Amino acid sequence: MKQQTIQKEVSLKGVGLHTGKEVTLTFKPAAVNHGFVFKRTDLENQPEVPAQANFVTHTQRGTTIENKGVEINTTEHVLSACVGLDLDNILIEIDASEPPIMDGSAKYFVEALEKAGIEEQDAERDVYEVKEVISYKDKATGSEIMIVPSQEYEITTMVDFGTKILGTQNASINKISEFKSEIADSRTFSFLHEIETLLDHGLIKGGDLNNAIVYVDKELSPETTEKLKKVFNKDSLSIKSNGILDNLTLHYPNEAARHKLLDVIGDLALIGTKIKGKVFATKPGHKVNTEFAKKMANHIKNERRNTIPQVDLHQEPLMDVNKIMKMLPHRQPFLLIDKIFELTDNHVIGSKSVTMNEDFFRGHFPGAPVMPGVLIVEAMAQTGGIFILSTVPDPENYLTYFMKIDGVKFKQKVVPGDVLVFKCELLSPIRRGICHMQGYAYANGKLCAEAELMAQIVKSK
């Protein structure tokens, strides 16, 4: 499957649910491997906040993400629309801290994205296939999310609010293409006692009785009636036979469970990777959803980090040392890779046979020789250098320079006789000759080192 974005930008206007502020949200096309990223256009330098689980700060009445002091509140409806239309890369510009609430569902975001048109991109989609049961449970609330292997991204929500007016409900989709017709127009809801509390705390300033279903779980006293009439600018209020305030008519008998499913999809978008698996969410809420997203993101990262590339070291390589020297300017004793086995649009795999004849072993613990960690990183970078130089027609006329190294970790020592296998994966599209990659080094079936590398190629002639 190829990655997808939209063909052109499209905007919506509305008010934030809790801030009550007028806000404009604009969806814009984004490059491959960009993911979903929010940009605050109302702030100096227009800072960005990637939609990632590790940026979640709080989950009261919605999911808030924050990066370097910049917040985006109530992200779930916007992100669910992006996932529900099977998109991968979108820049979401917003001129306030909170997206517009619209009608309390994802319907209007879906319509806007469809209006912009879907465009296939020239890059393979990153999909994580679930191979085992993974779960997270909040013991305090009994909320639990579990994912099991499946050939599709499926979601089932099971909710129980413990009230007579809104008991147990279930909702499911068997594939993400059902989102638009079955889930997108399911609106947010609240109980009457929650509405009163939120109003007393100065929240839901942008709320009205057109963007939330209100379940009446307590007696509607004359005092409460007058307060709500004033806040929501209504001449009268009454309770329907199904126990909801007379503001809206339900789209579905189980609309509450469907909206919870909508929230689950939006919150799990923060994993940052498409999922092939079936999700069971029992009594879901933003806290349990985002904690599960964090657990999944870490699980995927750790599994991929420790997954050794399956390379037959005895096969004929894509590039031997002679071809490597035609591309890289390095020479012995500082040419630290011997072979390249794979070179694709987003990764490269190479190797180095470590022998006792290496120059550095004469001075680096000669009595107990160990390859210096910095040279492992250099070899990793040279492997990445092959990748970036392969993107220009005349690599012999370029030099590669380090710009940044982050997250360096050494796991195992490397000694004479080991064969190092390097894998470098592109983290973001190459721009202006700048390459941002995640590098791994393996030997003897184990991860030896890892680092995040950034380098730039510059014309040498």
Q: What is the set of active-site residues?
A: 286, 364
* Token pair belonging to 21: 């502020």
* Token pair belonging to 89: 């890369």
The amino acid sitting at 423 is: K
DSSP string covering 151-162: SSEEEEEEEE--
Q: Using CA atoms, how far apart are residues 48 and 57, in angstroms rounded to an integer?
A: 16
Helix (H, G, I), strand (E, B) or coil at 72: strand
- DSSP assigned state of 368: S
List, in sequence order, the alpha helices (H) in 117-213: 179-182, 192-200
Residues written for the chain: 461
List, in sequence order, the alpha helices (H) in 145-251: 179-182, 192-200, 222-231
Q: Using CA atoms, how far apart are residues 383 and 400, in angstroms rounded to an integer?
A: 11
Q: Tell the residue number behind the tokens 């009457």, with chain if given.
A: 192
Looking only at the bridges linking them, the beta strands covering 274-282 and 143-148 are: antiparallel
Q: Using CA atoms, how far apart are residues 143 and 204, in angstroms rounded to an integer?
A: 25
Give Cα separations from 68 to 71, 347, 374 (angstroms).
9, 30, 30
Q: Strands (DSSP E) along 204-249, which ranges?
A: 213-215
Burial (CB < 10 A; 0-12, 13-18, 19+), residue 459, is exposed
- DSSP assigned state of 317: P
